Amino acid sequence: MSYEMINSTERRQKCAELLKANVSAAAKMSAFIGMDGFIDEIVHVVDKRVSPTEYVRLSTIEKFGARVSAAAGKSTNFEMVPQLVKLGGNGPIMANAIAQFGIKLSYLGALNYPDIHPVFKEFSEKGDVHSIANAGRTDALEFDDGKLIIGRMTQLGEVNWENIVARYGKEKFIEKFTASDLVGFVNWTMLPFMSEIWEVVLKDICPTLSGKRRKLFFDLADPEKRSKTDIQRALNLISSFEKYFDVILGLNEKEGYEIGEVLSLDTSDHSPEGLARMALKIQSKLKINTLVIHPVAFALAVSGGRVDLVQGPFCEKPLISTGAGDHFNSGFCLGKMLGLDNVNSLLAAVSTSGFYVRTAKSPTVSDLAGFLADWR
């Protein structure tokens, strides 16, 4: 079976028109996102120091890896040059982008406790933002061909059901969870008690839900370090939520193949067609509404046995790359909240991340429409 990669001016223009027509609709919607939080320091690795103020950057992960390998059995050192200290974590970055769309935001996560860290101050003013735990710390080593995320996350063990009840309130959690148009649970990998939280929610809260089906988004966030048993347990829980929500699972390309291996699928074909075939099988096995996988150059979504592929606006030298996937997720969720089909939701997603990596800013809905109209 062959799959068409959508990349036409007509489709992009149609999506731009749909987004422009829905600016006011987005402002009437609400989202409840959680539950991580990191203080990110974006750094470059020095290749050659030219002067006290000038250096040549180590440009690729491949070159960095070669330098690391060459030090085996010896030793070496690397100089890191800070570029930016910013809010981090899949949740805050995605939620920040959601708020920029004009959607009413509620956030629960790890932004330091009892007082929210100053790096999250601007974010905390964009909605009903609460913290129940201390933030993790991340060094994001950025290169032209990707990034390495080095995290310190012991404190994220404070994100558990007991602290949700004690520091946020069970009734408030239920209120947000049951009323928001979009609920997003992200960064499962870094939150050691997230599966336990999901089990409580499935057992005690979901059976009480009534009214229209809403959107529930999951992002596992690079589960490679977690055991196959842990990952399978998380996938089973995610599948269980489909009884109550239209579940969306978002994965990058690496995560897609990791989930394929956990589900005992053939992961040998890394072509777009091979990825599409594997994605169909993942969605069928999990029995969820929508599976999304977003490699760097394109993205795909699977619903009801149908695969849609959209080419992205590839940026060879991004101004920033950390957070691009979270922006993609926010754009896709925006599209689904507005009732757009998968193609238009994918176009909104790749445009959100495309705008972000070029400007280091989260776009408004109007910005997205403009980006689609002026796609390069």
- Using the predicted structure, report yes or no on whether residue 148 has a pLDDT greater than 70: yes
**What are the phi and psi torsion angles at 226 (to 5°)?**
-85, 155
pLDDT at 52: 95
- Side by side, the strands of the sheet bearing 215-219 are 5-6, 306-311, 298-303, 290-294, 246-252, 215-219, 182-186, 30-34, 104-109, 127-131
Q: Quote the CA–CA distance of 136 and 317 in Å, as a whole number.
A: 28
Which band of pLDDT confidence, cut at 50, 70 and 90, is reported for residue 151?
A: confident
Taking only the tens place, the pLDDT of each residue in 184-211 is 999 999 999 999 999 999 999 999 999 9
Which band of pLDDT confidence, cut at 50, 70 and 90, is reported for residue 326?
A: very high
Mean pLDDT in residue range 248-274: 97
What are the tokens at 205? 């809260």
pLDDT at 132: 98
Mean pLDDT in residue range 5-16: 92
Q: Quote the CA–CA distance of 95 and 217 in Å, as a whole number.
A: 12
Using alpha carbons only, give the angle 109, 112, 113 rounded to the nearest 5 degrees. 95
Would you say 209 and 176 are in contact if contact means Cβ atoms under 8 Å apart? no
Mean pLDDT in residue range 162-166: 98
pLDDT at 146: 87
pLDDT at 375: 82
Between 88 and 290, the higher pLDDT residue:
290
- Using the predicted structure, report yes or no on whether residue 317 has a pLDDT greater than 90: no
314 backbone φψ class: left, alpha, beta (φ>0; ψ -120 to 50): beta
Minimum mean pLDDT range among 109-113, 151-155, 292-296, 324-328: 151-155
Domains of the chain: 5-40+88-373 (3.40.1190.20)
CB burial of residue 126 (10 Å; 0-12, 13-18, 19+): middle
Mean pLDDT in residue range 269-283: 97
Would you say 345 and 323 are in contact if contact means Cβ atoms under 8 Å apart? no
Which band of pLDDT confidence, cut at 50, 70 and 90, is reported for residue 28?
A: very high
- Using the predicted structure, report yes or no on whether residue 281 has a pLDDT greater than 90: yes
Mean pLDDT in residue range 153-180: 97
Would you say 128 and 95 are in contact if contact means Cβ atoms under 8 Å apart? no
DSSP assigned state of 157: G
Which band of pLDDT confidence, cut at 50, 70 and 90, is reported for residue 370?
A: very high
Mean pLDDT in residue range 291-302: 96
Q: Quote the CA–CA distance of 278 and 280 in Å, as a whole number.
A: 5
Would you say 297 and 321 are in contact if contact means Cβ atoms under 8 Å apart? no
Would you say 238 and 185 are in contact if contact means Cβ atoms under 8 Å apart? no
- Using the predicted structure, report yes or no on whether residue 24 has a pLDDT greater than 70: yes
Would you say 138 and 87 are in contact if contact means Cβ atoms under 8 Å apart? no
pLDDT at 34: 97
Q: Quote the CA–CA distance of 376 and 367 in Å, as a whole number.
A: 15
Kindly report the pTM of this predicted structure. 0.90
pLDDT at 1: 61
Mean pLDDT score of the chain, rounded to an integer? 95
Residue that has been written with the tokens 């029995």 in this structure:
287
pLDDT at 2: 62
- Using the predicted structure, report yes or no on whether residue 129 has a pLDDT greater than 90: yes
pLDDT at 3: 79
Q: Quote the CA–CA distance of 267 and 118 in Å, as a whole number.
A: 43
